[in-house]
Amino acid sequence: MKAFELRWLETICGAVLPLAPHDHAEPRLCAEATLPELPQQAHREAVRRFVAEAPARATLVLRLAIWLIWLAPIWTSMRFGSFGSLAESERVWLLGDLSRSSLYAVRELVLLVKLVACLGVCGLDSMRWALGVRRDPQSSG
């Protein structure tokens, strides 16, 4: 995966799971649940770990999903620009809109990116610790 695609994926993950900065007084909400405070680089760490460990076929499909979402504002007639040019609220709205697409492939590709974001961040030691999940240091993985 190219470096710019990783940056795009980090941006998309930020719309899926917005993380609160440590100096923010109130945690930001994601859907109905409040996320524990995590550093802004949490998405970067999660994405890079996933891409490094994922099979080649999964990475290829993920790249397709990234491109689909990144260019979605153009083909959804929202505006001439990329996902990155949208305001945060527009990004969240667009992901929701794509999730309700009449095209099965679009819905599933968006779901894949959401899964990568959620599983990647939930796999971080800092997130597991914040959620109260303690790992046995003797266990592998």
Report, as an integer, the average pLDDT of 115-123. Answer: 79
Percent of the chain clearing pLDDT 90 (strictly above): 26
- Report d(CA 115, CA 58) in Å as an integer: 12
pLDDT confidence tier of residue 117, bands split at 50, 70 and 90: confident
What are 38's two structure tokens?
């995590």
Q: 16-59, pLDDT tens digit by residue?
A: 877 654 444 444 444 445 555 566 667 777 788 888 888 999 89
Give 101's DSSP letter. -
